[in-house]
Amino acid sequence: MKNFKINISVLLLLISVILVSFCGCKKQTSNLICCVENPLTDLEWLKNYCENVHTQDVLIVKIDLYKLIGKNEHVFEIFASSFIEPTPEQGNIGYLTEWRTCSGELVFNIPYPGTPPNPITEEDFMKDKEFVSTIFSFVKQ
């Protein structure tokens, strides 16, 4: 009987260790964005963009991270402007606003005046996305 109690104790301990290890793995992977720890350094296209932003003809760049609601997927909103404070007459001219996937694929943009409109509105595109944080900000001095 003593052997049986030891075997049950060992079995319960083994099951507990396995359950804790599975919970630990899920917790660690939930912090990943695009399967990487730091998208600014680990996603090559984003790293190159941020490292070379000072060579572009822009004064302001901001990159926001959005999560697709109910999914473990993310998109990046890249906003770039040639103006610090544009006038209403300038409209979208001098602005770039686009959304890219983890692989850098363009999935949505706000078109410049005179270019074809998107098949969906920005409001419709954003319906299933929630803001996570601003991950990059640049203002040319």
- State which H helix or E strand residue 5 sits in: helix 2-30
Place of tokens 């260790």: 17
Residue 19 structural domain:
1-31
Q: What is the pLDDT of residues 79-113, one digit of tens each?
A: 988 765 555 555 555 678 899 999 999 999 987 66
**50 and 107 within one domain:** yes
How many domains does the chain contain in total?
2
Same domain? For 73 and 121 the reply is: yes
> Could you tell me if 54 and 108 lie in one domain?
yes
pLDDT in tens, 115-126: 777 888 899 999
Please check whether residue 90 is in contact with residue 84, taking contact to mean a CB–CB distance below 8 angstroms: no
112 and 59 in a common domain? yes
Round to whole Å and give the CA distance between 56 and 114. Answer: 23
pTM of the predicted model, to two decimals? 0.69
**Cα dist. 107→61, 77, 97, 110 in Å?**
19, 10, 11, 11
Mean of the per-residue pLDDT values for the chain?
78
